[in-house]
Each structure stands twice: as structure tokens, then as C-alpha cells.
């Protein structure tokens, strides 16, 4: 690489909230939760069809299993969002990344760290962020609007060459 890619941006509470939502969306647990939720909705639909033909009980009794499943699904689906809304967010602080062929340097006003590319398991691209996952729950967030278009393309190419970014962003 001719010269490292440098990215600097201010990490505000709004950006922190935004990237936390994105990480929840792309995390393994969130995917598993959606699959579980779809299974619950499927069970609720089956219960609805099965109980719909039985006119011996009250309407409330026939639809109670379905209502219970829908409430469980809603609780499980919206729980991460509820937890996120109660979370304390850090004070705004600057983030500086330096992406080189062999390593990634991250510095804030309080710390500096150097990470090898092997320390990342995958990268995901959203409309606003590049997320570099260290495991299924911890990711380093890079604000795309803080990177020039040419450097963003170079960064995508670098991430693909490291085997981290598999698919291009789809809208």
C-alpha cells in the first residue's frame, strides 16, 4: 500500500447509539433472535389455524396461545432496543484510525492500540459505518462519511484482501 489510510471523526452519543444499533443488527445473537422470532410467529400461525376450526371454546380461549406467542416475540424482538435506550453513552471523543497493510492503529484522547489484521474475524458495511468485528459482539466502528471516496475504496479493497469484507453494500 502506497500510504496508510487515515480516518478521524468525533464519536458523539448519537453516533454511538447508531453504531450500537448496527452492531446489534449484525451480531450473531441478533440473527439467532430473529430466527427464533420467526419460529415463534410460525408456531403462532399454526396455532391460529388449528384453533380457528374449533368453535367449542370462547374466542378468547381460541386465540390465547397466539396472543401469548405474539407478546413473547415482541418482547424478544424489542428487548435489545429497550436495553439500548437505557444505556449510558460516553462523552464525545475523537477517534483516529490508521489502516496499514500489516496492522490497524486506533487512538483516542486516552489510549492508543495497535491491532493485527488477524485479530478481526469479519467486516460488515452499512450505509453509515464499516464495522470491523473482533468477535461476534465486539467491533471497531469506522464512520464512512469521515473517509474520502477514494480512501473508502482503498479501505474496502484492503478489507477484501484480508478476507474480512465478503459482500458489497446492498441498499
Write the pLDDT tens digit of every residue in 96-116.
999 999 999 999 888 999 999
Write the pLDDT tens digit of every residue in 49-93.
666 655 456 666 667 777 777 777 777 777 666 666 666 666 788
Which parts of 27-146 fold into alpha helices (H)? Answer: 28-52, 59-86
**Cα separation of 108 and 112, whole Å?**
6
Q: Show me where the domains of the chain are located.
A: 5-12+92-161, 25-86
The per-residue pLDDT for 48 is 66
**pTM of the full predicted structure?**
0.65
Query: What backbone torsions phi and psi does residue 165 show, to the nearest 5 degrees?
Result: -100, 110
**Per-residue exposure over 43-57, b if at least 16 CB sit within 10 Å of its own CB, e if not:** ebeebbeebeeeeee
**Cα separation of 14 and 84, whole Å?**
12
Query: Are 148 and 136 contacting, i.e. CB atoms less than 8 angstroms apart?
Result: no
Task: Domain 5-12+92-161: state its class.
Answer: mainly beta
Amino acid at each position: 500500500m502506497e500510504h496508510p489510510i487515515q480516518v478521524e471523526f468525533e464519536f458523539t452519543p448519537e453516533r454511538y447509539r447508531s453504531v450500537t444499533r448496527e452492531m446489534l443488527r449484525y451480531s450473531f445473537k441478533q440473527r439467532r433472535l430473529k430466527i427464533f422470532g420467526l419460529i415463534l410467529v410460525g408456531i403462532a400461525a399454526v396455532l391460529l389455524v388449528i384453533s380457528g376450526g374449533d368453535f367449542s371454546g370462547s374466542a378468547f380461549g381460541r386465540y390465547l396461545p397466539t396472543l401469548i406467542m405474539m407478546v413473547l416475540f415482541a418482547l424478544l424482538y424489542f428487548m435489545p432496543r429497550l436495553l439500548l435506550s437505557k444505556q449510558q453513552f460516553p462523552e464525545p471523543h475523537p477517534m483516529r484510525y490508521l489502516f496499514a497493510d500489516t496492522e490497524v492503529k486506533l487512538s483516542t484522547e486516552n489510549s492508543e492500540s495497535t491491532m493485527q489484521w488477524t485479530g478481526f474475524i469479519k467486516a460488515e458495511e452499512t450505509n453509515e459505518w464499516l464495522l470491523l468485528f473482533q468477535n461476534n459482539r465486539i467491533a471497531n466502528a469506522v464512520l464512512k462519511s469521515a473517509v474520502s471516496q477514494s480512501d473508502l475504496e482503498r479501505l474496502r479493497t484492503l478489507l477484501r484482501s484480508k478476507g474480512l469484507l465478503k459482500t458489497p453494500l446492498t441498499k
